[in-house]
Amino acid sequence: MDQLLLNQGFPLLSTLIFLPLAGSLLLFVVRDPHFARYWTLAVTSIVALLSLTLLPKFDRDTAAFQFAEHHPWIESLNITYVIGVDGISILLILLTTLIMPFCVLASWTYIKDRVPAFMICMLIMETAMIGVFVALDFVLFYILWEAMLIPMYFLIGIWGGPRKIYASIKFFLYTLAGSILLLVAIIWLYTANGYSFFIPDMMWKDYPFTAQILLFIAFFLAFAIKVPMFPFHTWLPAAHVEAPTAGSVILASILLKMGTYGFLRFALPITPEATTTLMPYVLWLSIAGIIYGGLTALAQQDMKKLIAYSSVGHMGFVTLGIFVLNIDGIEGAILQMINHGITTGALFLCVGMIYERTHSRELSSATGIGQYMPVFVTLIGIFSLSSLAFPGTNSFVGEFMILAGAFRHDVPLALAAIPGAVLAAAYMLRMLQKIIWGGTNNPDQSWLTDLNSREIITLAPFLFFVFWIGLGPQPFLAMMHSSVVNLLDQFHGYQQAITAAGMY
Amino acid sequence: MDLELVLSAAALIGLAVLIPALMLVTAIFGPRAKGKIKDEAYESGIGATIGVVDQKFSVKFYLLAILFLIFDIEAVFMYPWAVSVRELGWFGFIEMVVFMLFLFTGLIYILQKGVLNWR
Amino acid sequence: MNCDIVFLLPLFIVTIGAILLMLLSAFESIRLEVASALSVGIFALAFLVQLVPIGLTDVLPFVSIFNGMLAVSDFTRIASMIIIACGLFTAMSAISYFRQNNFGSLEFFSLMTFAVSGMLLLTMAQELITVFIALETVSLSIYVLVGYNRRNVLSSEAVLKYLILGAFAGGFFAMGIALVYGALGDTGFAAIAASVSRDGLLHNPALAGGLLFILFALFFKVTVFPFHSWVVDVYDGAPIPVTGFMATALKTAIIAVLANVLLLAGDIRESWLDMLFYLTVLTLFAGNLIAIGQNSLKRMLAASGIVHTGYLLIALIAVSGDQFSGSVILYYLAAYAASTLGIFASLSYLSGTDEKRKEFNDFSGLAKVRPYSAAAITIFLLSMAGIPPTAGFMGKLYIIVTAYQGGHVILAVLGIVSSILSMWYYLRLIIAMYFHEADDLFETSGSRSAPVCAFILAICVLALSLYPVAI
């Protein structure tokens, strides 16, 4: 229990988790669409503001879990309600809480049908997502991990596009199938750790090598599907294309991060030996994902699909950064997780705004709108530049750190990732070029109206973070530094112990 | 191996083979006369003399038969109790009263539902 | 002596209530609603009586009564509570059903109460002949209930199938008792267990054969592969409340008997472990395969019941015999009963006149017209599929953890795989309810009792998962 710094006084984390859930209860009773919108906006904003109060109290110099709460829950199986935050998860929690109000804003007019139900799904999603990032008990984690599926399934299936049923079932079954082995792994760890589900106790134990390999495979399947890594990515374009804007944003910004968060939180500390052994394969899969995502994105006519495939590429960078296992790589990966959340989230919002006007996601029907929507194309231009890691924007910092880490690890590997960056520039600029200028025979776009103030307010914070992280990433890196250093110290210490043991 | 077991098994197997074999042999080699009447299934003469047999009976017959069975068994159940009524004493008496009461409620139900009325 | 009577009080309450209801239905002096309320009252009383002593003493020692024919423990108490609760909710939701289906009569509630009394006896029975009598009490009532809709061809088919096969099973059981008695001169579970642990099972072929017959008869009742083939037709033909009642209360009672025979009186699973293992695997997959092919909701639920039996078998195989608490089995049964009854309660009022809505497609767009009903059904389905945060997930988690701890890794993995497979058919209804347009107004008539039932049960499903009290 020494990994926990117990929370004194107000249980902030629990409030963050349960406030949205409590807020959703009211919407079961009051079914007025307009009230539902304002109410959800209010609840998510309060959660966002509350989550910001974590920052001043967050201790950057410790790798322990802070604001921790610990209550017995199901004693017969030794399941506890234990939550806490460290440097790896705090940024993701803030990302979640801060993005949610803007998702609500983005759905303000987009969702016309069954608004209260939509907002209930959003609020339950928020509870589950925050819960996944803070859960330190494996059963609690698993419950929230699965609980997240249901509202997302409904978000895609009810408010989605024409092939929504196909997309939602594919999403559901893929993720569920990934979790099967996760559950097996959890139960194995439970028995191997003296019947405890407490996650920090499971880390850095000398499990037998074969067991580690099997555990790693179980973790890998669950998390790689969620990330999604090539070749487990096929649910992602389908889900992204069919989901409503808010669903796409949540999916891209937060849900995908759970996979990479899972690698950092579980795969590395629980199965370090297997990680070292299998690292090359994962790295080259990441490279394959980067190249594949880029090439496929280049060929897309559907803007949402384009961004979805670009996500595959970007998340490939993140897994690359995680598995090079050095400080630059991992810190870059965590930063890139945040960046991808901001940039891709914003891009999906932008596409949603076009879609609300033209009711099409096809590139060909959105050509040449630069003349009529100047504010819009400025914004989407900046976000696209951020997505292709233009210097001065947030993704540049993250990708640069990851590549630096990769070079330190293995030069050919890093060289192999470079084409991905070039491809990103190619497909993003292609999209921008078509949207802003188009060809010689553009459809008549003169009836389009530029962004209204609600839409600008929705996008403004994303813009702010694009430049803040791009120009001054130090505060963000400082927050995660101790935890990452601790992770790597433990990891290398573990390796040395293994090697030393091998010499005898 | 147990000799007795082997013998009994052999006897059973022998019977199982012998009887069908005999039936088969008589069917093949026995004298047989054919004809319209001869080829009809033997129904103890009913088919030819009193007409169809699969006519419908009133369900009341079955009901009555079942009711008879129930109360008959009840009476049978009382004999062993009657034999040992002294040993069982009041406990046995109360038990029997409870039993009778249960059946009595059943009788009330039957009467009320008109099962015993013939039409 | 006086103290022992207290343990049987719920049984007495239910039996006397059943007789009372029978007499009332003979005079036809009350309305259907009153009969329903009365049986709900009887069950509620029995439930409270059953509940109170548990609050006072946490673990009751085994108290032998009736010369060891019956025994009361925490296991039987909680199993009885589940059964009584099943009866209660069935009695409550049946009234909504009979509002829309014109064949309700007062005897329904009497028969159901009789069945519950037999089931209560089943959970407590420690001896084969008592089990047989209780089993027949239950079966006779349920035969009548299955064929309650006399004018319906499907219902008649169902009752004929169930009656004939059930009679066979009863015959098997009686034959088994005869063989066991011939081998041991005793029919008590304790005597059987003692003999098996002393000499081994195969030492006495008559005992082994007799037990096999008995197990088969019980397996027939809980639809273990290969004795499962009747279940789909019978559940389909029976009136909805009866189907729900059979699927939950009857299963609970028989599983309790199986636990008693195999475990409680002494562990005699060892000798059957291989057979149980294969039957479990086959039951899980037969159930899933049959369920995937169904288009009718009732038939799908019947087939998924087979799968749930498979999970219960995993628990029976895996729970440790020496310090048997049965909590894993009971928790799963409670979770399963709550979700299944919830679905059937919802169907009781949603299926409409003469059960006209029975296919998945008939519920298309339910979420638009009746969002609360659709939400409740979704909760129940997710619970049956074992998706957190519902009771069904916790139940499956307990079972899988138990299997893992008991060294049955294959069963644990198969259990998880099967739960993924089962998503396929549970999702179909959710898809129909939420993602399709409504072409039906889902008009239902009158009674609010089944919706209230469904609401309470939905709360139960969620509450059980957050506070697993039974464990």
Residues contacting residue C175 through CB under 8 Å, at least 6 positions apart = C210, C213
Residues in C closer than 8 angstroms to B106, CB to CB, are 22
Residues in C closer than 8 angstroms to A144, CB to CB, are 388-389
CA distance A240 to chain C (A): 17
- Chain center to CA of A205: 28
pLDDT higher than 80, residue B109: yes
Per the omega criterion (within 30 degrees of 0), is the bond before C226 cis? yes
Q: What angle do CA A71, A264, A323 make, to 5 degrees?
A: 170
B102: nearest CA partner in chain C: C19
pLDDT in the model for residue C267:
64
CATH value at residue B44: 1.20.58
Q: Is residue B38 part of a domain?
A: yes
Q: By the 8 A CB rule, do A359 and A352 touch?
A: no
> What is the token pair recorded at C261?
């025979």
DSSP state, C216?
H
How many Cβ atoms sit within 10 Å of the Cβ of residue A280?
12
**Domain ranges across chain A:** 4-439+447-503
pLDDT in the model for residue A71:
86
Residues in B closer than 8 angstroms to C26, CB to CB, are 108-109, 111-113
Q: How many domains does chain B have?
A: 1
Say yes or no: A172 contacts chain C, CB-CB below 8 A.
yes
**Which element (helix H / strand E) includes A83?**
strand A79-85
Q: Is residue B46 part of a domain?
A: yes
pLDDT digits (tens, 9 = 90+) for A313-354: 899 999 999 998 888 899 999 999 999 999 999 999 998 888
Best mutation target among B91, B101, B112 (most C Cβ atoms within 10 Å) is B112
By the 10 Å C-beta count (0-12 exposed, 13-18 middle, 19+ buried), C194 is classed as middle
Residues in C closer than 8 angstroms to A183, CB to CB, are 397, 400, 416
pLDDT confidence band for B25 (50 / 70 / 90)? very high
CB contact under 8 A, C400 and A165: no
Q: By the 8 A CB rule, do A319 and A422 touch?
A: no
Q: What angle do CA A483, A487, A491 make, to 5 degrees?
A: 170
pLDDT confidence band for B1 (50 / 70 / 90)? low
How many Cβ atoms sit within 10 Å of the Cβ of residue B61?
9
pLDDT higher than 70, residue B47: no
CB contact under 8 A, B108 and C19: no
> What is the token pair recorded at B8?
């009994």
> What is the token pair recorded at C110?
């009497």
pLDDT in the model for residue C63:
52
**Which element (helix H / strand E) includes A66?**
strand A65-74
pLDDT digits (tens, 9 = 90+) for A207-262: 888 888 889 988 998 899 888 888 888 888 888 888 888 888 898 888 889 989 99
Residues contacting residue A360 through CB under 8 Å, at least 6 positions apart = A366
pLDDT digits (tens, 9 = 90+) for A407-430: 988 888 888 888 888 888 899 898
Best mutation target among C19, C67, C141 (most B Cβ atoms within 10 Å) is C19
- Chain center to CA of C303: 14
A157: nearest CA partner in chain C: C435
Best mutation target among C435, C464, C467 (most A Cβ atoms within 10 Å) is C435
Helix (H, G, I), strand (E, B) or coil at A6: strand
Residues in A closer than 8 angstroms to C405, CB to CB, are 191
Q: Is residue B118 part of a domain?
A: no
Q: By the 8 A CB rule, do A342 and A92 touch?
A: no
Q: Report the helix count and the strand count for chain A, using DSSP H and E.
A: 22, 3
User: For C73, phi and psi rounded to 5 degrees?
Assistant: -140, 180
pLDDT tens digits in sequence order for chain C, 471 residues long: 445 667 788 888 999 999 999 999 888 878 888 999 999 999 999 998 887 665 444 444 445 556 777 888 778 888 999 999 999 999 999 988 888 888 888 889 999 999 999 999 999 888 899 999 999 999 999 999 998 888 888 889 999 999 999 999 999 999 999 999 998 888 888 888 888 888 877 778 888 888 889 999 999 999 998 888 899 999 999 999 999 999 999 999 999 999 888 876 666 777 788 888 999 999 999 999 999 988 899 999 999 999 999 999 998 888 766 556 678 888 899 999 999 999 999 988 888 777 788 888 888 888 888 888 888 999 999 999 888 788 888 888 888 888 888 888 888 888 888 988 888 888 888 888 887 877 777 777 667 888 888 888 988 888 887 776 654
Q: What is the gyration radius of the CA atoms in chain A, in angstroms? A: 22
Best mutation target among C332, C380, C393 (most A Cβ atoms within 10 Å) is C393
- Chain center to CA of A485: 22
pLDDT < 70 regions, chain A: 1-2, 502-504
pLDDT in the model for residue A174:
84
Say yes or no: C446 contacts chain A, CB-CB below 8 A.
no
C29: nearest CA partner in chain B: B112
Q: Is residue B55 part of a domain?
A: yes
Chains with at least 3 CB pairs less than 8 angstroms from chain A: C
> What is the token pair recorded at C174?
């009686």
> What is the token pair recorded at A334?
């965590």
Range of the domain at B48: 3-113
DSSP state, C322?
T
pLDDT in the model for residue C60:
47
Q: Is residue B21 part of a domain?
A: yes
Cα–Cα distance measured from residue A316 to residue A314, given in angstroms and rounded to the nearest whole number: 5
CA distance C156 to chain B (A): 17
Q: Is residue B119 part of a domain?
A: no
DSSP codes, A212-274: HHHHHHHHHHHHHHHTTPTTS-THHHHHHHHS-HHHHHHIIIIIHHHHHHHIIIIIHHH-HHH
CA distance A85 to chain C (A): 22
Residues in A closer than 8 angstroms to C463, CB to CB, are none
Q: What is the dihedral of CA A431, A436, A439, A443, to 10 degrees?
A: 110
Cα–Cα distance measured from residue C214 to residue C393, given in angstroms and rounded to the nearest whole number: 32
Cα–Cα distance measured from residue C181 to residue C186, given in angstroms and rounded to the nearest whole number: 5
- Mean pLDDT across the stretch B11-17? 91
Q: By the 8 A CB rule, do C117 and C134 touch?
A: no
ipTM of the complex: 0.76
Query: pTM for the whole thing?
Result: 0.81
Q: By the 8 A CB rule, do C172 and C138 touch?
A: no
CB contact under 8 A, C19 and B113: no
pLDDT in the model for residue C321:
60
> What is the token pair recorded at C2?
């006086």
Q: Is residue B59 part of a domain?
A: yes
What sign has the CA pseudo-torsion C145, C147, C149, C154? positive
Say yes or no: A190 contacts chain C, CB-CB below 8 A.
yes
CB contact under 8 A, C388 and A146: yes
CB contact under 8 A, C420 and A180: yes
pLDDT in the model for residue A63:
80
